[in-house]
Amino acid sequence: MTRALLLLAALGFMTAPSHGLVQQAIERLQGTWVITSVEGEGLPAGVHVALVLNGDKYQGLKQGKIDERGTIKVDPTAKPMTIDFVITEGTHSGKTQLGLVEVTDDRMTLVLGEPGATARPTAMTQSPLGLTKLRPIAKELEGSWEGAITTPSGQALRCIFKLSSGSDGLGTGTMISVDQGGQAPIVAVVQIGSRLKLIVPAIKGTYDGELKTGQLTGTWSQGRATTPLVLKKSM
């Protein structure tokens, strides 16, 4: 090997991210993340898209069901950090999706190219996805919450949201329509401080509320319809 080639090899070694830096970056990405915004706008009611990261393995979920699996590669020395999703299962199996990622505590911003595209996005402003990390819900939120949804015709339909911590430690629950006699699973419980989002894909519903003075005050969205909904905890 010539002196010039030795110098290039040495420079390449020096600029490659160390194993320690890569592991630290991957650790920050661990957990279950639910998409809460696209280009700064909230998702339609009932839409649930999530990303589960365990080590360098990932699972993509839509409406509570796994629709993609693969592995990730990151370069924490790049600014912003780059991430590659190597897809092994799903519609785009065999392709790699190139992207950029930033993580601050329980918030993630992700910018992705098309699966199989060779050009990586160059800025975090290119159609960013906003994700929130799911955490165990506060003890004060566990239990049954009751209220009434007012339909466009003015009818009040009683509902119960039963919230608890699942076997994985994350929030889970069931929405019960008392007057209609049906129920649907709450596939994501997103808590950010006193704010709470409950996503119920089976009926295309989402509840956005805030815990104040022992009750949840917010709105229920189902399809294009939105109505105020106050929930009080059952005794």
**pLDDT by residue (tens digit) across 179-207?**
999 999 999 999 888 899 999 999 999 99
Reported as type and span, the H/E element at residue 83 is strand 81-90
Cα–Cα distance measured from residue 105 to residue 211, given in angstroms and rounded to the nearest whole number:
22
Give me the long-range contacts of 66-70 (CB less than 8 A, separation at least 24): 67/91, 68/92
**What is the pLDDT, as a whole number, of residue 2?**
52
| pTM for this model (two decimals) | 0.84
- Is the CB of residue 17 less than 8 Å from the CB of residue 77? yes
Least confident of 6-20, 33-47, 172-186, 215-229: 6-20
Is residue 208 pLDDT above 80, yes or no? Answer: yes
Q: Which of 37-41, 68-72, 193-197, 211-215 has the highest mean pLDDT?
A: 68-72
The tens digit of pLDDT for each residue in 73-114 reads 999 999 999 999 999 999 999 999 999 999 998 999 999 999
Confidence band of 229 (pLDDT split at 50, 70, 90) = very high
Cα–Cα distance measured from residue 57 to residue 127, given in angstroms and rounded to the nearest whole number:
24
In percent, how much of the chain has pLDDT > 90? 76
